[in-house]
Amino acid sequence: MSKRSKDQDLIDELHAWMQTPDTQTAQTNGHARTTISSSSVSDDAIIEKCRAARSGAKFETLFDHGDASAHAGNASDADYALLGIFKFYSQDPDQLDRLMRLSRLARPKWDENRAGRTWLRYSIDNALRDVGEVYDWEHGRGRPLGKKEVALAARPYIGKATKAASDDGEARPALSLVRFAKRDAPPAREFIVPDLIPRHHPTTLYGWGGTAKSLIALLLGMSVAGGKKKFFDRDIAVHGPVMFIDFELDADEQHRRVVQLATGMKMEVPEDLLYVSTLGVRTHAAIEFALSGCEEHGVVLVVLDSLGPAMIGDMAAAKDVIEFHNCYIAPFKAVGATPLLVDHQARQQAGEGYQSKGAFGSAYKEHLSRSLIQVEAGDRSAEQGILNVRLRPKKANFGALADPFDVSLSFSDEMIVASRRDLTPSDRAQETTLNSKDRVLAALEDGPAYPDELVETTALTRSTVKNAITALKKAGQVEITGEVQGQMERVRLVAPAARPIKGKATRATPLQSAHSNPDLMSSSPHHTGGSDDDDTSKAVAGLFANPPDWLPKQLKVYRENPELHLKPLCTAVAAVVLGEGSRWEEVREEVEKELDKGLGRIDG
């Protein structure tokens, strides 16, 4: 027989306990078994148990004497320490409220408002977020919570007022009906940064790792706290204290960044930049501390970096994300702060583009943010210490969606310099946040193009590009060049001076067409008056005398089958000379004359 392990007795006892039904949920003939709940135990019985426990001396120091010296004189820490003793014996918030008020720690601050509740009730709700073992009054010993009890005790605090209790004793959020007709006219909407970060509502800044999103959030915070007028050429409308809640790094590392940024921004480190590292601290305690600090210092912007480590629950589960926002993000509005949430982005799958990705997890992360800004890394040079990133607004509930812009970050040991850069036309053509017409216009800024080339440049579908071109031609922003490739006509931007006034129909004259066509301008004689026929004749002659690049190619196609390709050639010429390819018959005679006398000279 093998020797019995010295821990076997403990294992057997644990196994027997695990086989015992949970007294909160066990069923007997369809009826729940009765148990002794903490709320049925008197306050005096709980106090007696606390005195007799191994922590009795600590309890008496706090409860009988209100002595917070063991907590460096911090009254809030002393409150939590006493709550930590009480919550082992009772998880009833009302009973804990009574017990705490019997102690010498009681003070007027407990009755101050905190996110819709008293300060004390707020602290109790937070303490009940972290209940591991409780006293089993039926068996007279401690035990872990059952699954149902964990769910109830671990519920986050509600960021709303609680007034009445239901029949089962559970506190309910206080709700009220509003008659808009009885209210004064609402004030103008406020923004921290107009059209980018609405005040009092959550904004999410997200992207892959290595995109400098935390650095950009810190730079914004320093600009708001330091009284800077601009954030990358955008006005800052609200200034004041800023709190940076860091769930990833510590003060030493962030201090280095702050000093480097301040040097690059040519400013002192803002006095109103407040920082707290929450490494190793549970989220409910971190948020409770942050809310207290926001209220005390009048914080206007709070940066939470990042949402992943802070999140309680499953980020992919809608119900957990909704609850987290309701309980941990919404209360910041009650204390006057605007939350900026730094978050990570979901990984790309095969065939997916970066721009199409959202924040990692449930779509409700984005649904519950009023503004979304995606950060994408661009060119980088480790040797030169340069990183270029793009800030791409993807959602704006309270205004027009702002255009994306680039930021160039230059790193050195002494400073970090950030500067804004406009997107190139080809970059804007690829931006999915812009509409199809704007993307086609951007692509054409690099020069004339055929529809297939625009499809390749913009990554839009052929039908979308075709529809955009049609709309832009009607709006007088795009015109055909006269070059034809198969069934496709090359298009270009119309010079601003040649665009029609909105709401007035115009018909391009040969002179107008020439002015809107640099190639034709260089080859056309000056307009000296005369009939329209004379103008047309001179314009066609000028076009053939100094042909643009496309004309020899078009003539080569014509020569392969003159009968078939005469009309396309005339259409191209009419588009340049008259501004309308459909008027090709008006230039046919002049084109044929030029063909008779100059075909060999042009393409030979």
10-residue averages of pLDDT along the chain (604 residues) = 53 51 40 44 93 93 94 91 92 92 94 81 84 82 57 43 41 73 93 96 95 96 97 95 95 95 96 94 88 93 94 89 92 94 89 90 95 94 91 94 94 94 90 93 93 94 94 90 88 68 38 41 38 76 83 82 83 79 84 76 51
For the chain, what are the domain ranges? Answer: 34-155, 191-422, 507-603
pLDDT, residue 300, reads: 97
pLDDT, residue 185, reads: 93
CA dihedral 147, 148, 154, 155 (to 10 degrees): 150
546: phi then psi, degrees, rounded to nearest 5: -130, 75
Contact 427, 388 (CB under 8 A): no
Taking the C-alpha atoms of residue 133 and residue 145, their distance in angstroms, rounded to an integer, is 6
pLDDT, residue 431, reads: 94
Class of domain 191-422: alpha beta
Contact 114, 160 (CB under 8 A): no
One-letter-per-residue 3-state SS of 464-485: HHHHHHHHHHHCCCEEEEEEEE
For residue 77, the one-letter residue type is D
Contact 404, 433 (CB under 8 A): yes
CA 209: distance to chain centroid? 15
- pTM here is 0.62
pLDDT, residue 525, reads: 34
Two structure tokens written together for 561: 């089958």
Give the burial class of 350: count Cβ atoms within 10 A of its Cβ; 0-12 exposed, 13-18 middle, 19 or more buried.
Answer: exposed
Taking the C-alpha atoms of residue 392 and residue 207, their distance in angstroms, rounded to an integer, is 10
